[in-house]
Chain A
C-alpha cells in the first residue's frame, strides 16, 4: 500500500471524528445562544409552575416533573424486565436459540416510535381508562408504560452482551464448587457484570428522556403537576411532548421560542451527563480483568 493512501485514510478517519464532535458542539452552542433570551429576560421565573405564552409566563417545572416521572415509571418497569430477560437469553436459553430470540427482541428497537404512539392511542390508553375507571386514558402512567416497552431492547441487548462477555471459566469453576445455577448468576455473574448493567440502565434512561412522538400522543399534554403529586393516573406533559406540540407555533426569535429552546438545552445537558456517566461506567468495566 502506498504511504499516501495511508495518509488519506488517516485524515478521513480524523475528519469524520472531528465532524461528529463539531456537530455536537454546534448543537450545544445553538441551543445556548437561542435560549439566552429566555435566561436573561425570564430568569428564575423559568422555574415556576405556570406556562402561558399569551401572558409571558414560562414556568417549566410541570414539564420537568413530567419528564422525570415518565422516565422513572418506564425504568421501574423496564429495568427488572430487561435484566431478567437478558439473564434468560444469555444464561439459560441454549445458545443456538439465543441469536433468534435476541434478534426478535431487538426488532422492538426498530419499530418507529409513531407506531408505538398509535398503538398507545388506539388500544393502550383505552385499556388504562377501563382498568382504572378513569375519565381519560391519556395519563402519565400510560406514557411511562409505553416508554418502558420502547427502552426494553436497549436494556436487554446491552445486558445480554455484558453477561456474554464473561468468560466461561467463571461459570465452570463455580459449577465445580457445587453452586446451583441460580447461585452462579446471583453471586458471580451479576457482580461481575454490574458496571455494564449500570451503563445499560443509564443509556436507557437517556433514551427515555428524549423520546417524543409516542409520549406526545398519549400523555394528555396539560402543563400541570398532578394533584396530589403522586397521582400518576392524571394527564401531564414532558419536555419533549411540549416541544413537539408547540415549537412550530412559536415565531423564531421570540421569548416564547427561546423558552422552548431552553427546555431543549436542559434536556441536552441531562442526556449529556447520563452519557458521560455511562461511558465512565463502561470504561471501568473495560479495565476490569477477567483473568
Chain B
C-alpha cells in the first residue's frame, strides 16, 4: 500500500510537471559572452516572468555543437564559426548576431607585471607559446621559468588569440604547461602562480591579473583599453556573437532584440566589453 502511494505521487509529479511546462530559452557556450547574457537574462525576466531562460557555460565549441544538435536555442560564441563546424551540421543554418566587441589580451601574473614586464611584441608571445623562450629572464624579467597556460582547443578565446599570435587558430602550442577551460579557471591559475602567462578576455582583467600592452612592429605601444578596442588598434579583437538556427522567432527574437537595445548594450558595457554601435 505504501509503495502504491509512492508510485501515485511519482506519477502525479510527472503529470504536473508536463502540464506546467513553462517556455524556456536554452542558451549555452562561451564563458566570455556568459556574463552579459546571464545579467541580461535576469533583467529580461523582470519584464517577462513567464519566460524561463536557462544559461550554461562550456565554451564556444560547446555553443556551436549544442546548437547544431538542436539542444539549445541560442549559442554563445566568441569567435567565428569554422568551416568544419558548418559542414558538420548541414541542416543547421547558423545565424550569428554580434552583440558587442572584446579584445583577447595576453595576461601575466601580477609579480611579473610588477617586475617590469608590461609590454611584449607578438613575436615574443609567439616564442613563449612555441616553447622557444622558457624563462622570464630572457625577456628582462626575474629568473623564473614561465608557466605557459593554454586553453582547450575549441575555446573562442584561444582561436582568436592563436590566429594572431601563432598564425593559425588551431596551432599547437608546444610550450604549453597547462591546458585550462573557462576564463574563470584561467584567471584562477594565473592568480595562483607568480610566473604565469595566459590569454583572457578584456573583461576578466583585474589587479592580480594584468593585461600586457602589445608592442607593434613600428614601436608603438597599444594598451588593452576600451578606446583601443573601439578604434580597432588593439591587434587581437573580436566580436561577441550569439548564434541561432535560422532567423530567430518568438521569445528568442524578443530576447535578442533586448540585447541589441540600448538597455542590453548598457549591460554589455558594464560587463567590460564594447557596445556594438557607438
What is the CA–CA distance of A189 and B152 in the complex, to the nearest angstrom? 51
B196 CB contacts on chain A under 8 angstroms:
136
The smallest C-beta distance from A107 to any residue of chain B, in angstroms, reads 27
Chain-B contact segment, one of A95-103, A169-177, A195-203, A243-251 = A243-251
With an 8 A cutoff between CB atoms, is B42 at the interface? no
The smallest C-beta distance from B165 to any residue of chain A, in angstroms, reads 16
A222 CB contacts on chain B under 8 angstroms:
150, 176-179
Asked if residues B62 and A249 are in contact (CB atoms below 8 Å), the reply is yes
With an 8 A cutoff between CB atoms, is B147 at the interface? yes
What is the CA–CA distance of A55 and B147 in the complex, to the nearest angstrom? 26
B172 CB contacts on chain A under 8 angstroms:
52
What is the CA–CA distance of A253 and B153 in the complex, to the nearest angstrom? 18
Asked if residues B177 and A245 are in contact (CB atoms below 8 Å), the reply is no
B152 CB contacts on chain A under 8 angstroms:
221, 245-246, 249
Asked if residues A251 and B176 are in contact (CB atoms below 8 Å), the reply is no
Contact of A135 among B88, B89, B180, B193 (CB under 8 A): B193
Asked if residues A251 and B65 are in contact (CB atoms below 8 Å), the reply is yes
What is the CA–CA distance of A220 and B193 in the complex, to the nearest angstrom? 13
What is the CA–CA distance of A223 and B173 in the complex, to the nearest angstrom? 12
With an 8 A cutoff between CB atoms, is A121 at the interface? yes
What is the CA–CA distance of A283 and B65 in the complex, to the nearest angstrom? 47
B177 CB contacts on chain A under 8 angstroms:
135-136, 220, 222, 235
Asked if residues B178 and A220 are in contact (CB atoms below 8 Å), the reply is yes
Asked if residues B189 and A138 are in contact (CB atoms below 8 Å), the reply is yes
With an 8 A cutoff between CB atoms, is B143 at the interface? no
Asked if residues B68 and A251 are in contact (CB atoms below 8 Å), the reply is yes
With an 8 A cutoff between CB atoms, is A252 at the interface? yes
Asked if residues A136 and B189 are in contact (CB atoms below 8 Å), the reply is yes
Asked if residues A249 and B154 are in contact (CB atoms below 8 Å), the reply is yes
The smallest C-beta distance from A2 to any residue of chain B, in angstroms, reads 16
With an 8 A cutoff between CB atoms, is A89 at the interface? no
With an 8 A cutoff between CB atoms, is A30 at the interface? no
Measured CB to CB, the nearest residue on chain B to A138 is B178
What is the CA–CA distance of A125 and B170 in the complex, to the nearest angstrom? 29
Contact of B192 among A125, A220, A245 (CB under 8 A): A125
Measured CB to CB, the nearest residue on chain A to B169 is A54
With an 8 A cutoff between CB atoms, is A129 at the interface? yes
Asked if residues A136 and B188 are in contact (CB atoms below 8 Å), the reply is no
Contact of A137 among B66, B88, B192 (CB under 8 A): B192
What is the CA–CA distance of A53 and B192 in the complex, to the nearest angstrom? 30
Asked if residues A135 and B176 are in contact (CB atoms below 8 Å), the reply is no
A245 CB contacts on chain B under 8 angstroms:
152, 179, 181
With an 8 A cutoff between CB atoms, is A254 at the interface? yes
What is the CA–CA distance of A254 and B192 in the complex, to the nearest angstrom? 37
Q: In the complex, which residues 145-187 of chain B have their Cβ closer than 8 Å to any Cβ of chain A?
A: 145, 147, 150, 152-154, 170, 172, 176-181
Q: A136-B177, A138-B189, A221-B178 are in contact. Are A54 and B62 (CB under 8 A)?
A: no
Q: In the complex, which residues 235-291 of chain A have their Cβ closer than 8 Å to any Cβ of chain B?
A: 235, 245-246, 248-254
Q: In the complex, which residues 33-70 of chain A have their Cβ closer than 8 Å to any Cβ of chain B?
A: 52-55
- Give me 19 other A-B pairs in contact (C-beta within 8 A), A222-B179, A235-B178, A246-B153 excluded: A53-B153, A126-B192, A129-B192, A136-B147, A136-B196, A138-B189, A220-B178, A220-B179, A221-B178, A222-B150, A235-B177, A248-B61, A249-B152, A249-B154, A251-B65, A251-B68, A251-B69, A253-B88, A254-B88
Show 29 A/B contacts (Cβ-Cβ < 8 Å), sorted by A.
Answer: A53-B153, A125-B192, A129-B193, A135-B177, A135-B195, A136-B147, A136-B178, A136-B192, A137-B192, A138-B178, A138-B189, A220-B177, A220-B178, A220-B179, A221-B152, A221-B179, A221-B180, A248-B66, A249-B59, A249-B61, A249-B62, A249-B152, A250-B65, A251-B65, A251-B68, A251-B69, A251-B85, A251-B88, A252-B65
Measured CB to CB, the nearest residue on chain B to A253 is B88
B61 CB contacts on chain A under 8 angstroms:
248-249
